[in-house]
Structure formats: C-alpha cells, structure tokens
C-alpha cells in the first residue's frame, strides 16, 4: 500500500499532498513481570506508544512526504499510571509544505495477547 501511494505521489496523478493523518490505538498494559513489561519502563524502553509503534508510522510519513520542517507534540498519561506515557500526538509540517498528524495510544485495560 505504501509503495502504491508513493508511486501515485511521485507521478503527480493525485496532485500535491496537503494533509495526512494516521492513528494507532493498541491497548497495552502488561502485568508486572510479564515478558513485555519492560516496554513500560522508561530506563529500558525510552518512552510509550510513540517510541514503541508510533515510530513506524512516522517512518511511513517521512518516506512519503520527505523531511520535516517543524513539529509540535504532546504526551500524556491519561489512564495508565506508569513510567511512560500512554498517549502521544505529533503535528508535523514537512519541508515541501504538507502537514500531518500522528496520534497513538496504549490506553486500555489488560487484554489477552497484549502483555
């Protein structure tokens, strides 16, 4: 899908991009001692959902829209009180002009397969 979108942008067939938006909501709240509990420990993971899986969405935006001129962000611990945030958002403006919003959260309870 990303390859096809890139080809459409490159060809000019769909015009110049103006706005892109991507969101990812993946509940993740591991119990202490769970195999992936290290992901919510700042000293081991470095951050919450943006560091965990939002970075991959950011890579797609960079691939499609190029270098970023400026960015604004917000991170918050909305309901999961742990070392790293459970929600993050970034508003980006790319050097070529288009803007994008990326929002990610791990907010939610424990669920099978997510710890």
Domain residue ranges of the chain, discontinuous segments joined by +: 16-105
pLDDT band for position 112 (50/70/90)?
very low
- Per the listing, tokens 């420990």 go with 41
Rounded Cα distance between 79 and 38, Å, is: 19
The 10s digit of each residue's pLDDT in 59-85 is 999 999 999 999 999 999 998 889 999
Instruction: Find the Cα–Cα–Cα–Cα dihedral 24, 27, 29, 31, rounded to 10°.
Output: -130
State the number of CA atoms in the 13 A half-sphere of 95 facing the CB.
6
Q: What is the pTM of this model?
A: 0.85
What's domain 16-105's superfamily in CATH? Dihydrodipicolinate Reductase; domain 2 (3.30.360.10)
């Amino acid at each position: 899908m990303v390859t096809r979108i890139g080809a459409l942008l490159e060809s000019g067939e769909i015009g110049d991009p103006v706005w892109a938006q991507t969101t990812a909501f993946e509940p993740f709240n591991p119990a202490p001692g769970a195999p992936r509990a290290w992901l919510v420990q700042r000293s081991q993971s470095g951050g919450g959902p943006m560091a965990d899986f939002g970075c991959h969405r950011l890579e797609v935006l960079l691939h499609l829209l190029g270098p970023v001129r400026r960015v604004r962000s917000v991170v918050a611990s909305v309901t999961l009180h742990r070392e790293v945030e459970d929600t993050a958002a970034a508003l980006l403006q790319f050097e070529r002009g288009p803007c994008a919003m990326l929002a990610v959260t791990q907010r939610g309870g424990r669920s099978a397969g997510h710890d």
